Structure 1
Amino acid sequence: MSSSKHLHFIGICGTAMGSTAAALRALGYTISGSDEKVYPPMSDVLRQAGITLTEGYLAENLPPSADLYIVGNAISRGNEELETLLERKLPYISMAELLKQEVIQGKRSFVVSGTHGKTTTTTMLAWIFEQAGKNPGFMIGGVPENFTSGARFNHSDLFVIEGDEYDTAYFDKRSKFLHYLPECAIVNNIEFDHADIFADLAAILLTFQRLLNSVPRNGLVLLNGDDKNCLSLKSYAPVKTVGTGEGCSERIHITEASPEGTAFEINGVPFSVPMIGEFNVRNAAMCVCAARHAGLTDDEIRAGLETFKGIRRRQQVRGVAGGVTVMDDFGHHPTALRETLRGLRQKYPGQRLWAVFEPRSNTSRRNVLQNELIEALKEADGSIIAAVANPEKVAATERLDPEIVAKSVSAAGRACFHEPDTDAIVARLKAETKPGDVIVIFSNGGFDGIHGKLLEALA
């Protein structure tokens, strides 16, 4: 890491871009950046780190003498700052490539990938290393409760990074994780997602295959041994399969599930995690295997797992009003909804469970997973599906139909309502819920401040 460089970030207020900029600033790099909307909390984080911010994408925002210009993946052609950069023939790079060159090269890189569970697993593994005194570097695409920020770059030989299969930049359509030089690659699970950039499941399997192609022979690939999509991949590196099935080399057995946490064994060796649901046990088991590869003892691993606090916006209780618990969850894929609802049955036995879902992500606004969504919502005692966000961005023939979802779930004997806006959803929940009920709100956005409005109405 050469910390005398000046780096300029175009689109600096994105979560990953901002976290990266602040972490590099802490290493002594000179950082500047611009964004269309410079807004808290990221703007505060960046200013406190001593980073110069400019609002708007203007030609005059480009510092003439930076060593390197980082183009965020939200930036596209027609952006005035980008156009000026190209005209002046200045050296530019994607954020993923920057991480590879300036941060990851030469380290033991642990890349956590998969459709679901990336953020939790990345944070959990980084925390296990931290508790064991290894002071790891990390890059997390969320807000971890155990750390003060989502990214830390240092001179430790261990680096843990969330490996996202989404594309890298307007000029590089490969998945971000193909830049991350994994010594150990974790593949939690593989399903069809990101319908805006992948044509089908085969295209997603191809990009995961390319990730595995980059793991060296002295590295390790950890695959979900219960997922046929994961098992279809080939590897030159050693492979361990982690799962509950008989064929798994690292076989998970859940021994006790309580509202406070879950105890489990891997090939007979006991561990526990203060989290609910089989999916979190799977995340933890991947961490156990990865941490063993890094050289940690099982006792060191247990100490990390047992003190793990999780991630904001993952089953986060926002408040209790009128005896009703209101939770926030980032889930936006039917599998994530289904597994979270099953886990909450463990945490709240005997209580009525309500799911509120906002179809907002590029995939969930489409009807490609409509039947899977119907099945997922049947896991709740009652559910509400909101209107599709920005419906005009999806062709009518490809768009999710909330009316059909609500009718199909209700026909299976589970009450489901489609409501047009936040106020109608709040009114419906106020009328339908009773003390002891649990409401979990699934959205990957702000959802019009529904959590606060709901708590106020229930109180």
Structure 2
Amino acid sequence: MTVSESKYIYFAGIGGIGMSALAQLLLSDGKHLSGSDLSSSEVTASLQRKGIHVELDQSGAAVPDRCDLLIYSDALPESHPERVVAQQRGITTLSYFEAVGQYMLDFEYAIAISGTHGKSTTTAMIANILIQAGLDPTVIVGSIVKEFGSNARAGGKKYIVVEACEHKAHMLNLHPQCIVLTNIEADHLDHYRDLDHIVATFQKYINLLPTDGLLIKNSDDSESQDLNSDSPVVTYGLVEPSDLMATDIHVSKLGQTFVADGTTFTIKKPGKFNVYNALAAISAARHLGVGDTDIDKALKSFQGIWRRFEVMGQYRGATVISDYAHHPTAIQSTVRAAKEFYPDHRVVVVFQPHQRSRTAKLFDEFVKSFHEADFSIIQEIYDVAGREEGESISSTQLVSAIETAGRYAIFSEDVAATRQEIDETIEPGDVLLIMGAGDIYKLAEELTS
């Protein structure tokens, strides 16, 4: 039983950002859907409002008798009760990425955006450009895109744009005609042996491209430089010679402008990393025949996505920004972007590390990533269920190392303590940058509600 053949689909772990996106798209295709999750959330509430029944019971009892396909979150092990029930009843099961890979086959042209950083923003940029150009793409993105208020967009059946995560080599399940590769760094070391293993897996992924496909990659990313493809390759960058290069970058409080191939483009979001994201999106759009006028109009109006340098509002005279950054490079780039956008303002960072194994394996890089922050509040590490390896590391060690490196930092045991530290530290005119991939974003919402 394939995704296209199925009629009654059950989603085990439907509250995940990718699972919920696919569910919405299959609902729009006329499939009968239901699902489960461990707890209610805004995501599950949104699905319920759209007519998808969500059970908060994962014992297996909620799997319908008429179910002919069960799609499960990759976070659920083979021993999960709902997967066990499906196996006992002979129901076809697919992981989320296996299901997305099948779903992509229904489209004439698939674009997959991969890489350590910038996947979600680049996916959203490409989607908005194609919408502006009237190409009506179907979209799956790992965040909420403000332009269409969702992590999914049901468009036509010609183009699909998909964010393709590299965790556990999930992208190998996908079947794109075009791969956009943003950059590669050491991450997800709970699965990969080391950086070489990550690069080798990306090469394996690229090798799946058809001969008439396209690889779009970042020339300035050292780990991507030696990746090869039998398909055509388009490069972009700021430093190394590339097919598309950005020059004359200017930053102001209103955004950034840059010139590429004689055309001036404008984006509202700060940071050189967003110039790279825009260059990737421009490269993909031009390949599909979109003109620069539509590209610039879409980029200029792009409002950004949930938890990506998202300005939430004010708290006690400070500007509160929420960001998903949870890797050292992303933290450093986001702090630097805040400094560029808000010169002469103090930047106070609140960070909740995500996953003890990541914190331990990238410890030295994390320490360096806070160097440009004026003051840092480091909350205790957010444990990721099923992905911890027993490390005893704590944020107290990270704080101690940051202070040893000559920067100001303080430990916070939980969100209540973090709130207290903010109240004792923050001053009017500060920029309060709240970062992490766990639940720390709720604090940003609370402060500005």
- Matches of 1:10 and 1:404 in 2, distance apart? 37
Aligned: 1:149 with 2:130: no
Match of 1:58 in 2: 59
1:115-264 map, 5 Å: 115-167=116-168, 175-264=169-258
Counting only pairs closer than 5 Å after superposition, residues 268-417 of structure 1 correspond to structure 2 as: 268-361=262-355, 363-364=357-358, 366-390=359-383, 398-417=391-410
Match in the other structure for 1:35: 37
**In structure 2, how many angstroms separate the alpha carbons of the residues matched to 1:58 and 1:260?**
51
Cα distance, 1:293 vs structure 2: 0.6
- Cα distance between partner residues in 2 of 1:36 and 1:444: 19
Distance 1:443 1:56, change over 3 A: same
Structure 1, unaligned runs of 5 or more: 168-174
- Between the aligned partners of 1:183 and 1:127, the Cα distance in structure 2 is 19
> What code does the residue aligned with 1:357 have?
F
Matching residue of 2:7: 5
Q: Look up the equivalent residue of 2:120 and give its one-letter code.
A: T
**Residues 430, 55 of structure 1: CA spacing in aligned structure 2 closer, same or farther, 3 A cutoff?**
closer
Determine helix, strand or coil for the equivalent of 1:229: coil
In the alignment, what sits opposite 2:87?
Answer: 86
Shift of 1:65: 3.0
| 1:295 Cα deviation from its structure 2 partner | 1.1
Change (3 A) 1:390 1:74: closer
Moved over 6 A (4+): none
Q: For each residue in 1:265-316, what CA deviation from the matched residue of structure 2 results, as whole angstroms up to 9, or x when unmatched? A: 2244321211111000100000000000111111111111111010011122
Whichever residue aligns with residue 381 of structure 1, its letter is: D
Secondary structure of the structure 1 residue equivalent to 2:362:
helix
Q: How far did residue 449 of structure 1 move?
A: 4.2
Aligned to 1:171: none
Paired residue secondary structure (1:150): strand
Q: Give the deviation of 1:4 after TM superposition.
A: 7.0
State how far apart, in whole Å, the 2-side matches of 1:368 and 1:83 are.
Answer: 34
Report deviation, 1:255.
2.8
Identify the match of residue 421 of structure 1 among 410, 414, 420: 414
Give the Cα–Cα distance (whole angstroms) in 2 for the partners of residues 28 and 2 of structure 1: 11
Look up the equivalent residue of 2:34 and give its one-letter code: S
TM-fit CA distance, 1:3: 7.7
TM-score scaled by length of structure 1: 0.90
Following the alignment from structure 2 to structure 1, what is the Cα–Cα distance between the partners of residues 35 and 48? 11
Range moving further from structure 2, 405-414 or 265-274? 405-414
SS of corresponding position for 1:61:
coil
The alpha carbon displacement at 1:423 in A equals: 3.2
- After superposition, the CA RMSD in angstroms is 2.3
Post-superposition offset of 1:404: 4.1
Matches of 1:335 and 1:212 in 2, distance apart? Answer: 24
Residue 128 of structure 1: how far off its partner (Å): 0.5
Equivalent residues of 1:353, 1:437 under 8 A apart = yes
Equivalent pairs, count: 446
CA contact (8 A) 1:15 1:141 kept: yes
Deviates more, 1:211-220 or 1:222-231: 211-220
Whole-Å Cα distance in 2 between the matches of residues 322 and 45 of structure 1?
32
**Alpha-carbon deviation of 1:104?**
3.6
Residue matched to 1:440: 433
- 1:334-364 C-alpha deviation (Å, 9 max, x unpaired): 1001111111112111101111111123554
Please list the CA deviations of residues 77-132 of structure 1 after superposition, one character each: whole Å capped at 9, or x if unmatched: 33222112212222222222222223444421111110001011101100000111
**Secondary structure of the residue that 1:349 maps to in structure 2?**
coil
Q: Distance in 1 between matches of 2:156 and 2:383?
A: 44
Instruction: For residue 383 of structure 1, report the CA deviation from its aligned partner.
Output: 1.1
* Mean Cα deviation higher: 270-279 or 401-410: 401-410
Cα separation, partners in 2 of 1:436 and 1:53, compared to 1, 3 Å? closer
TM-score normalised to structure 2 length: 0.92
Where does 1:64-103 land on structure 2 (aligned, <5 Å)? 64-103=65-104
Structure 1 residues 263 and 143, CA, compared in 2 at 3 Å: closer, same or farther? same
